[in-house]
Amino acid sequence: MEDLVQQLKKLGFNEYEAKSYVSLVKQGPVTAYQVSKDSGIPRARIYDVLGNLVEKGIVLKEEINDTARYSPLPVDIFLQKAQTEWQSTYSVISDSLKDLESFGEKVDNRVITLKDYKTIINYCETLIKKAEKRIVISMWDEMYEVLKKELVHATEKATIQGITLHVENPIGKLESHRITPFTETKSTDHWFILSIDSKEMIYGPSIEDRSIAFYTNDPVHIYLLEDYIWHDVLVNRLVRRSKDDLEQWITSERSAFFME
């Protein structure tokens, strides 16, 4: 019950209102005293709480033999009402915020830190939906699978390029990265890069291990990381085309460069 109360609070109810409605749904038409006893709301407060819910149209009140009885708005109707009000509120807030954003002073190109797994995923999904011409990615399988649905939808209007690791049959024009000692080392961080129309980008380490990423609209950042992806794609193609065993040579050269 407590979890349900917390979810109702997200819809704008205070704690006593949420507990009252849940109690009424559970009991059916009852007196204020019975709601107070079941929900734990103080009797001194219950009449005000129920009165507020009656005014909101969430609770129905009827007088029977000089006794007030309260009943909840039927759940299906309540849910429809909540959904309608939420959508209306969302539309108003969305329009107002976008108007403010469009009239606000433009800031310089920036890099901002994103935290929390859901926030990072939502940010990535939003950018993918905004893509008009081109999406460039470098992703390991775990991040790719989370964003695959949005990426598939994006192929209807945008070209997807780049490289994936441990992904079978990647979509679009994506390359499958070759297996190397570096990719199979447990200490290798599973970084991801997502660039949209060369205008906006999110990049970061594996968000399953560290829930942090970075958003930027800075053209220098975007150019350098897209160029990094291109070089990774290019090396992958050269190794695949070469008749020589380049992998061992690349591994030793990498170790020397990074002083490993």
Cβ-based neighbours of 66, under 8 Å, separated by 6 or more? none
Mean pLDDT of 61-65: 83
Mean pLDDT of 20-49: 91
Q: Are 31 and 68 in contact (CB under 8 A)?
A: yes
Q: Are 150 and 138 in contact (CB under 8 A)?
A: no
Report in angstroms the alpha-carbon separations of 153 from 3, 131, 192. 35, 11, 20
Mean pLDDT of 153-161: 94
Distance, in Å, from the CA atom of 38 to the CA atom of 21, rounded to the nearest integer, reads 11
**CB contact burial 200-220 (16+ within 10 A = b; e otherwise):** bbbbbeebeeebebebbbeee
- What is the structure's pLDDT at 96? 83
Distance, in Å, from the CA atom of 183 to the CA atom of 166, rounded to the nearest integer, reads 9
SS3 label, residue 126 = helix
Distance, in Å, from the CA atom of 154 to the CA atom of 135, rounded to the nearest integer, reads 9
Task: Evaluate the CA torsion angle 167, 171, 177, 178 in order and state its sign.
Answer: positive
The helix (run of H) or strand (run of E) holding residue 216 is strand 212-216
Helices (H), the chain: 2-9, 15-27, 32-39, 43-56, 75-103, 117-130, 141-154, 219-241, 246-257
The answer on pLDDT for 214 being more than 90 is yes
The answer on pLDDT for 82 being more than 90 is no
SS3 label, residue 30 = strand
Domains in the chain, please, with CATH? 2-73 (1.10.10.10), 111-257 (3.30.870.10)
- For all residues of the chain together, what is the average pLDDT? 88
Cβ-based neighbours of 150, under 8 Å, separated by 6 or more? 124, 125, 128, 129
The answer on pLDDT for 202 being more than 90 is yes
Please tell me the total number of residues recorded for the chain in this structure: 260
- What tens digit of pLDDT does each residue of 103-115 get? 655 556 788 899 8
Chain-centroid distance of CA 118 in Å reads: 4
- What tens digit of pLDDT does each residue of 7-29 get? 888 888 899 999 999 999 999 88
